[in-house]
A = this chain, B = another copy of it.
C-alpha cells in the first residue's frame, strides 16, 4: 500500500489540477483530498505550492526536452533535423499547458517563481540550437558568420510567436505553415554557395 510513491501521487494529482485550473485556481487542499491525504503531507514532500508547481512544470518540460533530444540525436542532415525540431517543438509545447501559464510571467509580476524552469528550458534550447547550427556549418549546410547571433534570432522568433500561438490560441491556425517557416529559416541559414 505505502509501496506507491506518495511524492509521485502528489505530483500526478497536482498535474491534473494545475492543468485544468491553473496555478491560482488550484488549492493545496484539493490536491491532497484527491489522493485521500491530509493537506499537511504535501508540505512533507514539498516546501511550498510554488515548488510543487515547479516540479509539475519540470516534468512537463522534461518530456518535451527528451522528445526534442531524440530528434536532435538523429543521424539525418542538420537541415532535416532542424526542420523536424521546429515542427516538434511547437507541437510538443502546444500540449504543455502548464508551460503556457508561465508565459504570463512576462506580464504579471505574480508569476516570478517560474523563472528557474523557464530559464532552464531556454538554456537547453540555446545549447541545442548552438550545437545544431555549428554542426550544420561543419557539414557545409549552413553558412553563418556568427552562430550565437543566429541562435539569438531563432530564439527571438520562436519565443516571440509563443504568446500568439499558445495564449491567443493561434497555433491551430498556423500549424500547417510551420513547415514553410522552417523552410525559410533553413534557406535563410543556408550558404549562398
Contacts and interface: CB of A to CB of B under 8 A. Distances in A.
Contacts of A106: 164, 167-168
B107 A180 contact: no
A4 interface: no
A47 interface: no
B187 A150 contact: no
Interface string A78-114: 0000000000000000000000000000110000000
Interface residue range, chain A: 20 to 34
A155 to B, nearest CB: 10
A153 B177 contact: yes
Q: Is the interface of A mostly helix, strand, loop or mixed?
A: helix
A188 interface: yes
A74 interface: no
Contacts of A157: 157, 160-161, 181
A66 to B, nearest CB: 26
Given A156-B181, A157-B160, A157-B161, 5 more contacts: A107-B168, A149-B180, A156-B161, A159-B164, A184-B185
Identify the 4 closest CB pairs spanning chains A and B, nearest first.
Answer: A188-B188, A184-B188, A160-B161, A160-B160
